[in-house]
Amino acid sequence: MNLLMATPRQEQSGIEQELKSNDRTPEERQETEMLFGLLRHARNAPGERKTLSPYHGDGGLKGWVLKLLYAGGSLGLVHDTPRFLPPVAGDGASLTGSLIPATGSAAPQRSLAGWNPLFERKKDAAAVMESPHLPAPGRVKRDTAQGETGRPASLERQNQRMAGLFNLTDSALSEMNGLSLVDCAARSLIDRPESMAKMAFTLLRDSGLYGASPGERLTENVMGKIVNDWITENLFGSDLVTYVATLRLHFESSQDNSVAGEVSNFDVKACRERIQEQLRPLQEVAEQVSGPNERTYRYVLDNVVAPVLPTLFFNGADALEIGALDWCYLHIGLSVTAKSAVSVQGMTLRDMIEIGCSLSAMLMMGSLPPVMTDLFTFPALLYFLTAMSDEDKRAALQKDLRGDGIIRDALGRFFRRRIPRAGGQSFQTVQRRHERLQNANGPSQGDIDQTLRRAVGARVWAQCGKL
């Protein structure tokens, strides 16, 4: 598997040669190469990069992270954005998703389509996004409510529009009517997936947003986001992120009044049971329409709930507390694998937690594009709420948990914390790497000068806590 670096035309700096000379194992050498490779990619022009011969050893945790990033397209070259990295020729058999042939020819450029659906480019002209200035998917509703991008479209009005789309005459909007509309939508999407475009257009009709007028085309991911948001509003009364965050806060409040000895954690199992309980009325509505079946229920779980809460369905995760660091890293790891179309079959709970931990460390070092920050907002929010004082938790129940202010504070809190070790060997390796970076006496000229070298050492050390 290729390393996350490519040797530039200039020779290696003295400091890099010194560090490599002290590496005793292929794994240590690979880690040193990756660290300096990240910096080269950020500093050198694309024309000065060459591919490195594949590393044939066991890539370990870092290897999994690199596979995920290549498969997801996050290492694709984006013009006018120097920090983004170009793809390099790799072992096509070792990657999943968008493969890059193992040839010496220049690899095709890839955008960050896998990470930001609003800027995804489809070959099908009917699915091409016309405007590059749309708000991010998670901001559509909030910006609309603030009057920045259009008029707010109430759920009641959206339900009326959807009732007309399904030719339903009885549009008395009660809770069960909303569930009936969701059942109709789910059955339609199961039988005719292409109907999502019409649903998204219908839901945007009164919003004033892009896509609400004929000729304004949306990507498939954006259409799915619009429809899924409407489904979750009907089923949970809010988006899933807000629903789970509110559950977390209410759970903390209920524990304060519980009898001694009955305190329990809001873990993955408890969260899954609450989600399933909330979906039970949908099952009842579906049974009234078409008899006993779980088609719509399974559709909502697989296409609406699972992409937002992948930890609910990962074996061995039931005991993890929602909002704890291990849960946060598991969520990040699973989210990346899902977006990268990488199978997690055969991977353990610890594997996924370590992948999430490494991705967090790489983002802290500035080695990942800013667009990937969206993957961290939900776990950061849950971690932030978990760490609040009881008084702040009660106050948070009255706030918009998706507001820019609280998200900014949550991300700041999450990334200010030192990342704990994921395993004894990896922790000791990074600790040695930090000490060597800090104490090495190499020339200041070259790829990495003394100031940058010490800054990198400090960043690596900031990712690990002493035991």
What SS3 class is residue 60? helix
Q: Are 112 and 369 in contact, with CB atoms under 8 Å apart?
A: yes
Rounded to whole angstroms, what are the CA distances from 231 to 289, 303, 402? 18, 11, 18
Residue 463 pLDDT class (50, 70, 90 cuts): very low
What's the pLDDT score for residue 182? 93
Backbone angles phi, psi at 440, to 5 degrees: -65, 140
User: Which residue has better confidence, 213 or 50?
Assistant: 213
Residue 239 half-sphere exposure, CB side, CA atoms within 13 Å? Answer: 20
Q: Are 194 and 154 in contact, with CB atoms under 8 Å apart?
A: no
pTM for this prediction: 0.60
Q: Are 165 and 184 in contact, with CB atoms under 8 Å apart?
A: no
What's the pLDDT score for residue 22? 64
- Give me the mean pLDDT over the 327-356 stretch: 85
What SS3 class is residue 365? coil
- Give me the mean pLDDT over the 438-443 stretch: 45
* Residue 157 burial (C-beta neighbours within 10 Å; 0-12, 13-18, 19+): middle
Q: What is the largest CA-CA distance in the chain?
A: 79
What's the pLDDT score for residue 209? 77
Buried b (16+ CB within 10 A) or exposed e, 93-111: ebbeebebebeeeebeebb
Between 178-187, 297-306, 340-349, the lowest mean confidence (pLDDT) is in 340-349
Tell me the per-residue pLDDT of 381-401, one tens digit each, with 9 for 90 and over. Answer: 999 888 877 777 777 777 777
What's the pLDDT score for residue 119? 29
Backbone angles phi, psi at 250, to 5 degrees: -65, -35
Structure tokens at 83: 């920090």
Residue 97: what residue type?
G
Q: Within 10 Å of residue 21's Cβ, how many Cβ atoms?
A: 9
Q: Within 10 Å of residue 274's Cβ, how many Cβ atoms?
A: 16
User: Which residue has better confidence, 359 or 272?
Assistant: 272
What's the pLDDT score for residue 103? 31
- Give me the mean pLDDT over the 324-332 stretch: 92
Q: Within 10 Å of residue 187's Cβ, how many Cβ atoms?
A: 18
Instruction: Name which of 81, 80, 106, 96 is nearest 6 in CA terms.
Output: 106
User: Which residue has better confidence, 254 or 46?
Assistant: 254
Place of tokens 């044939």: 56
Place of tokens 């005459």: 169
Q: Are 123 and 132 in contact, with CB atoms under 8 Å apart?
A: no
Mean residue pLDDT across the chain? 65
Structure tokens at 186: 């789910």
- Give me the mean pLDDT over the 330-359 stretch: 84
**Residue 143 clears pLDDT 60, i.e. is over it:** no
Between 43-57, 337-351, 435-449, the lowest mean confidence (pLDDT) is in 43-57
- Give me the mean pLDDT over the 114-131 stretch: 31
**Residue 116 clears pLDDT 50, i.e. is over it:** no
Tell me the per-residue pLDDT of 221-234, one tens digit each, with 9 for 90 and over. Answer: 889 999 999 999 99
Q: Which residues contact 324 (CB under 8 A, 6 or more apart)?
A: 383, 386
Tell me the per-residue pLDDT of 251-298, one tens digit each, with 9 for 90 and over. Answer: 876 665 554 445 478 899 999 999 999 999 998 888 887 777 788 999
Q: What angle do CA 5, 9, 11 make, to 5 degrees?
A: 85
User: Which residue has better confidence, 403 or 307?
Assistant: 307
Residues paired with 321 in a beta bridge: 267
Backbone angles phi, psi at 143, to 5 degrees: -60, -40
What's the pLDDT score for residue 169? 64
The percent of residues above 70 in pLDDT, for the chain, comes to: 51
User: Which residue has better confidence, 303 or 47?
Assistant: 303
What's the pLDDT score for residue 51? 35
